[in-house]
Structure 1
Amino acid sequence: MTGFQRIDLGLTDANAACSCCATDHSHASAAPGVTVTEGALSAEYLVDGMTCSHCVSSVTEELTAVDGVQQVAVDLRPGAASVVTVTSSGPISDDAVRAAVEEAGYTLAAPGA
């Protein structure tokens, strides 16, 4: 094509690699706090290194497969910790969340770690 010019919108670091494709995924930590809303429980977790829609999709797919999980919402923050909110019909164990995040290729750390 003639006349095509790439315009950098400054939305991502052009030199940063996508974390879902990298080999080191030891970069997540849990955020404290569980919220009860209209019969559902919501808990937030911080996951570092999620940089693209593939990262979001992988984590969402694994967490949605956990029994009792009704919804997963991700506030993607490339270059910072992304906030993953898990809404469930009842309590979900930290071990179940950790296993799902690890299955997606990430590591969930203990609160305060």
Structure 2
Amino acid sequence: MTANQYQVTGMTCGHCEMSIREEVSAIAGVEDIQVSAQTGKLVVTGADSVQDADILAAVAEAGYSAVRAS
């Protein structure tokens, strides 16, 4: 299991968080999702097979943009 952190732009409320959580949770291997509109952070914990590109695409599908935080 690995945990990766992303900075998401455009989130303003709980509905935003729910939309991102719904899209990212559909990715195979994702175990846990922590998302905060207040901080703009998304932390995804899952199998090593979960790719950044898949997470970023899921965030985009929800209508937001994200970058991997270092």
- Report the TM-score range of the alignment, normalised by the length of the smaller protein: 0.7 to 0.9
Paired residues of 2:6 and 2:68 also in contact (CA < 8 A): no
Matches within 5 A, 1:1-113: 40-77=1-38, 81-109=39-67
Paired residues of 1:41 and 1:91 also in contact (CA < 8 A): no
Corresponding residue SS for 2:66:
coil
Paired residues of 2:24 and 2:55 also in contact (CA < 8 A): yes
Report the TM-score when normalising by structure 2.
0.85
Q: Which has the higher strand share?
A: 2
> Which consecutive unaligned segments of at least 5 residues does structure 1 have?
1-39
- 2:4 and 2:67 map into 1 onto residues whose CA distance is 15
Question: How many corresponding residue pairs?
Answer: 70
Label 1:55 to 1:43 Cα distance change in 2 as closer, same or farther (>3 A). same
Q: Which has the higher contact order (CA 8 A, sep 6+)?
A: 2
Question: 1:18-49: per-residue Cα shift (whole Å, max 9, x none)?
Answer: xxxxxxxxxxxxxxxxxxxxxx2100001122
Structure exhibiting the larger radius of gyration computed from Cα positions? 1
> What percent identity do the matched residue pairs reach?
36
Corresponding residue SS for 1:84:
strand
Corresponding residue SS for 1:108:
strand
